Amino acid sequence: MVIFYYLATYQLITEALQLQYRGFKKYFGEIFNIVDMVSIMLSVSVMSMMLRNFNFPDGFGSVEEIDMRTTVGISFSIFLLWIELIFYLRPIPGKNT
């Protein structure tokens, strides 16, 4: 749990440094940067919503009903990460393979 928030903070700082270095227009001109920011924020939001239902003695055992917002948030954040992975794996035009 602590590691997740530490890594999310690290990624946000990295994105903020890229934003400062490249400038607002250039940074948000690339779809990858937008997807990165949205996926980080969405993952942190979903994890925070999940932790609201967590109890140390029994974990998630005391949860009586499933929150659909959490399920949709998890699904959408995973979907964004898969799209980003597919964009990274596509062939680069002009490169000989």
| pLDDT value of position 85 | 86
| pLDDT value of position 60 | 63
Predicted confidence band at 46 (pLDDT cuts at 50, 70, 90)? confident
Greater confidence (96 vs 85) lies with: 85
Greater confidence (69 vs 76) lies with: 76
* Cβ contacts of 69-77, under 8 Å, gap ≥ 24: 70/46, 73/42, 73/45, 73/46, 73/49, 74/46, 76/42, 77/39, 77/42, 77/43, 77/46
Residues 2-36: tens digit of each pLDDT: 888 898 999 999 999 999 999 999 999 988 888 88
Write down how long the chain is.
97
Predicted confidence band at 95 (pLDDT cuts at 50, 70, 90)? low
Domain boundaries, the chain: 2-55+66-89
| pLDDT value of position 63 | 67
